[in-house]
Structure 1
Amino acid sequence: MTNNLYPIKFTPILKDKIWGGQKLKTLLNKNSDLPNIGESWEISDVEGDTSIVSNGSLKGQSLKQLLETYKADLIGLKNYRIFKNKFPLLIKFIDAKEDLSIQLHPNDELAAKRHNSFGKTEMWYTLQADEGANLIVGFNQEMTPELYLKHLADKTLTQILNFDKVKTGDTYFIEVGRVHAIGAGVMVAEIQQTSDITYRVYDWDRVDDNGNERELHNDLAIDAFDFDMPDNFRVSYNKTENKSNEMVSCPYFTTNYLKVSETLKKENIHDSFIIYMCVDGHAEISTNGFTETINKGETILLPAAIINYEITSKNATLLEVYV
């Protein structure tokens, strides 16, 4: 059965968003007529948004079908024991032409109780940022629920938020309970738990074409905040070429920075699928006589059953992700 498996690509699921732009089309070559492409869901097992294979002999099958057929051969034995036929990660590219809403995500316990869902721990890798662009992460001072609620009521929330100037390569780890938002002019790769649960606390008072404001979730959000979080969300990492450099390692995923300028012989020792997101240049991934090209803005899934493979490039930057 494992002989059928190879490096798998999926058709991106593109999302029109009130704050989206055109960079996913112009910089990452996503094919769409949508006016405001905010997100490209590269690998998704979210209900109603399941990824479909776009290459090779499995073309046309859904990620859910692959899980049901290949089980541990697809995601690894330990992952299959935990997640069964649910894929544990949601992989996206995001383009914010305007500021996203100020938001946070619940932890596993709260998400399970309220929404029958996983929590949403996530990370961002900045692919591109306009001059002066910001990410909003955390507060700029010590915070209490009382002080936060006062600023929320007074519509002065932005006075207590931490605005971080951002440039290409900057990486952030967003734990559950931490307030955050992607600022206007920023494009990121986002790696997260499979969850679409977001608590929106402020949306810049904007309205849609019909004059309606988007729904806020402040009643739910107040219980989901962790007001005592340390200021440890910026990720520092090495960029040694032709070597996997750890960026983020948490119970939900590990992400490495991999700059490739030659042929690398790789071995999967993780009992997990491995995802490669190409954030610059292009590379070829080869195994068992099958070769697939990955270009900037593309994502590829290596099933767990593939142990030995090669990555070849003269100049590619990849994010390497596994659980």
Structure 2
Amino acid sequence: MKINSKPTRRSLFMKQWDLQSMVLPGIIFVFVFSYIPMYGVLMAFQQYDIFAGIWDSRWVGWTNFRLFFNAPEFFNVLRNTIAISFLKLLISFPAPIILALMLNEIRNMAFKRIIQTVSYLPYFLSWVIVSGFVVSLLSVDNGTVNILLAKLDLIERPINFLSIPEYFWSILVSVNVWKEVGFASIVYLAAIAGVDPTLYEAASIDGASRFKQMYLVTLPCITPVIIIFMILAIGGILSAGFEDILLLASNPILREYSDVIDTYVYRVGIQNSRFSYATAVGLFKSIISVVLLLIANRVARRAGVSLW
């Protein structure tokens, strides 16, 4: 009697050679631009000399890391990074989910398409354009916000919003939500579209209202997608932003509340040509992000959903 042997990976690959070849360009791209440059992290343990190169620069061990931990800006930069990331996670993460749920309840398709288009458009604007728009909107001279507040008798004189450090976090998070919420909702709309319609019919027969159907049917069905994106968001919690903060916080007065790890690396490490120091700070951020990603994935695995 002939016993069917388990197919080998080689045989499975040959059966799927057409599908595997479609993945190959992506693998090459990631290898060339993500893995090959990783040898550059050696700079974090060196006093890098641009003329000597990485392999001939002087090794200094953990000196660059100690300089960062003992820097007077360390706790302020870490506080701003965690605070801004937490606010973005708290507000920006659920915003596209709520928008997707609301769009799913719209039955007028023409109106639904208009709302989708309007909410998607800001995503395709560069941060240079968005920052210019925000600066004009909040301007002291003929800024729309100041004019509106004055018309409502809420202020007596214009407020220079982008010169008040305490306002910066609110402005930054609000602009991020406005710019990203529409495009981010596409994934959740696609997940909602895959929900079995018979579940809604059964819930309707049982007397569930539209809101209860959303709460008892839609949300549980898209929970795996939400958890996966939550894991990725937690892994990137130290990536508070770069372009948005750099462009909106051009005023040095805001640095107390706007300086995060990415902008600190650019300002202190790159602009001052302290390449080894910048690499050490970036490596510190990457290690913490990986640890957070592993922890979030392990916790999510207990709920039956994880990245691996």
Which TM-score bucket, shorter chain as reference? under 0.3
Q: Which has the higher contact order (CA 8 A, sep 6+)?
A: 2
Query: What is the TM-score when the length of structure 1 is the normalising length?
Result: 0.26
TM-score norm. by structure 2 comes to 0.27
- Structure richer in strand, relative to its length: 1
Which protein has the larger Cα radius of gyration, Structure 1 or Structure 2? 2
